[in-house]
Amino acid sequence: MQELVNSINSVIWSPALIYLCLGTGLFFTILTRFVQLRHFREMFRLLLSGKSSDKGISSFQALAVSLSGRVGTGNIAGVAAAIGFGGPGAVFWMWIVAFFGAATAYIESTNAQIYKEEEDGVYRGGPAYYIEKAMGQKWYAWIFAISTIIACGVLLPVVQSNGIGDALVNVFGNGGTVPSFLGDLPLTKVYAATLIVLILGFIIFGGVKRIANFTQIVVPFMALAYIIIACVIIALHLDILPAIFMSIITDAFTPMAGFGAAIGWGVKRGVYSNEAGQGTGPHAAAAAEVEHPAQQGLVQAFSVYIDTLFVCSATAFMILITKSYNVMPEGSSVFLVQNLAADVVISGPAFTQIAVDSVLTGFGKPFIAIALFFFAFTTVLAYYFIAENNVSYINRTIKVPALRFVLKLVMMAAVFYGTVAQPSAAWGMGDIGVGLMAWLNIIGIIIIFFMAKPAIKALKDYEAQQKAGVTKFTFDPKKLGIENADFWEERFAKENPEANKETNKDTAG
């Protein structure tokens, strides 16, 4: 099984995908004239000003839902794995993919807003929707939808719950074992898996609104607590912080584990963490209630900063400052750096737990276990939200009433398996899910750009209204030459009946 997973990953995560992720971010950064820098203040304003409605969630709730998908095991165990396999230089490439990825996040999330739909009283959207409407390729949209259901409903939850199980074992030990068809399982993991599945079932059977309400409280609180602990550790080692920063920069270009390892693991874990280009963020973006599609694109771009430049950097600095890491290139059996015991698992949360515990003795391991529980659990909720969105997309064509119910049961089973599985198997399955979605989504948004440039047109329109000093933003897709944006066409016609009459008159003439 592990060999099959590794073989699939070697194809999906070839250098082509790594450079495609970086190249796409650079491409859209230039085309948007560094939107992630120019509109930083506007991103923050929009984050605090949005309101929810009966049909959609607020910009902040949408940010919280997407952050719950971004801030997860990747921020704690993923960063550790990037350092463990790629060396400190991998952190630099995580920063690079985050900076350029913010522009990609703007593009895909704005597309999701433009082409969203209203279904059963709530907003739905995402790559499957904008691929069909902007590209006109329903078959490709179906491939993405099915791939996303598999990735977010089965493959990706395995990684998140696995991080929780490993973190708890690091705190409480195995607690004995119980025999199963998967081998002898630690009782600690079995108890954790049972609890997680019960809580997960309670929330996902409660609907999207319950997910949004839960994540908007938990994610900001845990992220803030995590960053405060990281700042305390960094503050206690300020004298060596410049040297750590320089080691990240120098190792990025003269890497101890090889250039391919540093950039490969940095980009892979960077995309896994911030998800820019992967196609997960647009689902939450489409559910937001906003005046103009570009607004949610900007908010989602800001979420990449929070995830990688704040949370991932906090993890990296804690690990590097306290020297709580080993470096062994993937496939090798020789340590390039060994600061910890040889049996410490690189692909788990152990590096981070040891780092915090080395400064705050007796506190680090349980704190990271609690933080990881909330980060990973809310990520699983976000994955369900995304998978359900794509079930809704399929149900537009083929009505399968039981499909949502089956999805819930399958995800609960995947979460149980992930909690008790070995880290190498869990991360391998997660990487397949991330890579598959990234390939399909990035190709899609590039083709959509060359066909219609909807997100670029929306940005220029938004900036024009900003310059004009409007108090209420509007979006008229017909005026901008954007087709099939049915939701926004209907909204504009309803809110501006006189303007709509003029448009019809001009079209008739």
Residue 224 near residue 71 (C-beta atoms within 8 A): no
pLDDT tens profile 380-399: 888 888 898 899 899 888 88
Distance CA 120, CA 262 (A): 47
Amino acid at 8: I
Summary count for the chain: helices (H), strands (E): 25, 6
User: Which is nearest to 192 in space by CA: 220, 170, 211, 164?
Assistant: 164
pLDDT at residue number 507? 47
The answer to whether 457 and 482 are in contact (CB under 8 A) is yes
If you search the block for the tokens 């929070």, which residue do you land on? 306
The candidate with the shortest Cα–Cα distance to 256, out of 322, 333, 335, 323, is 335
- Please give the pLDDT value at position 59: 60
pLDDT of residue 115: 95
Question: How many Cα atoms within 13 Å fall on the side-chain side of residue 188?
Answer: 16
Whole-number pLDDT of residue 281? 81
Q: Which two tokens stand for residue 465?
A: 């209204």
State pLDDT tens for residues 141-188.
999 999 999 999 999 999 989 988 898 988 888 888 888 877 788 899
- CB-count burial class (<10 Å; 0-12, 13-18, 19+) for 21: buried
Task: Please report the pLDDT score of residue 12 as a whole number.
Answer: 83
Element holding 183 (H helix, E strand) = strand 183-186
Picking from 169, 161, 163, the residue whose alpha carbon sits closest to that of residue 194 is 161
What distances in angstroms separate CA 352 from CA 50, 175, 243, 307, 360, one per listed residue? 35, 22, 20, 16, 12
Q: What is the pLDDT of residue 3?
A: 76
**Residue 73 near residue 375 (C-beta atoms within 8 A):** yes
**CA dist., res. 507 & res. 124, Å (int):** 30
User: Quick check: 211 and 387 in contact, CB under 8 A?
Assistant: no
Distance of alpha carbon 368 from alpha carbon 322, whole angstroms: 15
Residue pair 462/472 in contact by the 8 Å Cβ criterion: no
Task: Answer for the pair 79, 347: CB distance below 8 angstroms, yes or no.
Answer: no
CA dihedral 227, 233, 235, 237 (to 10 degrees): -140
Run of H or E including 184 = strand 183-186
Low-confidence ranges of the chain (pLDDT < 50): 54, 507-509
**Strand partners for 237:** none
CA atoms within 13 A on the CB side of 109: 32
- Domains in the chain with CATH codes: 1-499 (1.20.1740)
Q: What distance in Å separates the CA atoms of residue 321 and residue 234, rounded to the nearest whole number?
A: 7
Quote the DSSP letter at residue 329. Answer: -
Q: Are 130 and 111 in contact (CB under 8 A)?
A: yes
In 240-393, which ranges are E strands? 326-327, 337-338
Bridge-based pairing of strands 326-327 and 183-186 is unpaired
Q: Is the four-CA dihedral 289, 295, 300, 302 of positive or negative sign?
A: negative
What does the pLDDT read at residue 213? 67
**295-322, pLDDT tens digit by residue?**
989 988 887 777 777 888 889 999 999 9
Positive or negative torsion for Cα 135, 140, 144, 146: positive
